[in-house]
Amino acid sequence: MVNPTPGTLRHAVLLPEPVWIIFNSHMHIKLMEELIFASDKTIDGRGQEVHITGGAGFMLQFIHNVIILDIHMYDIVPGKGGNIRSAADHVGIRGASDGDAISIFGSTDIWVDHCSFAGTFDGLIDIVARSTNITISNCHFVRHDKALLFGASDVQPDDNMFVTLAYNHFGKGLTQRLPAVRWGFVHVVNNDYTQWKSYAIGGAKGATIISQGNRFVAEDGAAKEITYRKQAPEEEWSKWTWRSEGDLMQNGAFFVNSGDPNWAASYKGYPLLPAEPAENVALLTKVAGAALGCKVGQPC
């Protein structure tokens, strides 16, 4: 934890310069403590089967410019903490980690693409502490209760937060928080929701959620309503801008709209990804998740 061996993942993510990290074989990596990143890092699992499992997850804290690509992350548990290197020139005492697969804390310009997530102790991906400019795309989520939390505090507003959630597949064994949002702006575009037990999209504290071109397939015996406004009376949440535009609702699924139907005029500066027709979502998400099967020197 203090002096990681050169060539290991822990050593590479702490180097002070920009680094593109690739893997020379299939591997299962058990992190004894959370993996703390420096800025300007790409973790690229293409061409190999890379599994982060059985140990702690990734911590992106007060950094920028990180890409996490084609990685399996599942069965993540809390690290106990202790003396851990958190930068090339700094070692300090860390408390126990939460047990998230990826925790994004006070960080910007992060892209998580073509990863597969399941079954962690806490969340699959948490975005908190005024993090912003985050994209989660082409990922596959299964087997979890509280999956995606964007904005964790009721009293410290993440009103700067901007997240794009695109081309992901939310599959078997999911219950809620796909995502749950406080304060910020989240664009949910061309995702395939084939299961949720409690709700798919929830939030609080005036979050703005724009849902465009998604497919929502309600599970038999589970909740049909897609949306959930946490612990807020209707006179409050009716002012929050939650809009469904061009979504495909199946098996009784329904989205409760609220707020300004002309929201786009207020968000002209936001870089919104154009939505494809919802009828195309199954094709758009066909290769969601890790294991792209790429080969060096060939198109991926």
**Residue whose token pair is 């982060």:** 52
- Of the chain, the end-to-end C-alpha distance in Å amounts to 35
Peptide bond into 6 cis (omega under 30): no
Give dist(CA 79, CA 283) in Å, integer: 38
Which H or E run contains 110? Answer: strand 108-113
Rounded Cα–Cα distance for residues 132 and 129 (Å): 9
In the annotation, is 10 catalytic?
A: no
**DSSP category for residue 178:** S
Give, in order, the Cα–Cα distances in Å from 279 to each of 107, 199, 218, 252: 34, 22, 16, 17
Distance of alpha carbon 286 from alpha carbon 191, whole angstroms: 11
Q: Which of 46, 94, 177, 243 is catalytic?
A: 177
In three-state secondary structure terms, 114 is coil
Residue 94 CB coordination number (10 Å): 19
Residue 130 is classified by DSSP as: T
Distance CA 281, CA 283 (A): 5
Q: Known catalytic residues?
A: 177
